[in-house]
Amino acid sequence: MDLKYIVGANLKEIRTKNNISQNKLAEYVDISDGMIAQIETGVTSPSLKTIEKLAKAFNMRPYEFLLAPEDKKPFNKKETYKRINNELLQILENISEQTQELMEKYFEQ
């Protein structure tokens, strides 16, 4: 997906979740409501200054407008621990016996 569509979709989602009209948002960030509509539909991309103003308006970080839907998954503690555990097991399986012995001595202390 093109980045300008991601930014636009994120802006529209955030704006509507906060029950703010395009007109009110445009006034707050000092751009036209037509420009808000163009950004939300992916017709145009906002400038970095506009992204900065939008982020301030919604009390968020500017990079959050650039996150694709798959990057916004909520943190799943169990899933994350399982993934880390599997990665550690793979690492441990591939270390030498000498390194294993050194690790065992270190952790016995």
- The pLDDT tens digits for 39-97 are 999 999 999 999 999 999 999 999 999 988 777 666 677 887 888 888 888 887 888 88
Q: Which domains are seen in the chain, by residue range?
A: 3-70 (1.10.260.40), 77-108 (no CATH)
SS (H, E, C) the chain: CCHHHHHHHHHHHHHHHCCCCHHHHHHHHCCCHHHHHHHHCCCCCCCHHHHHHHHHHCCCCHHHHHCCHHHHCCCCHHHHHHHHHHHHHHHHHCCCHHHHHHHHHHHHC
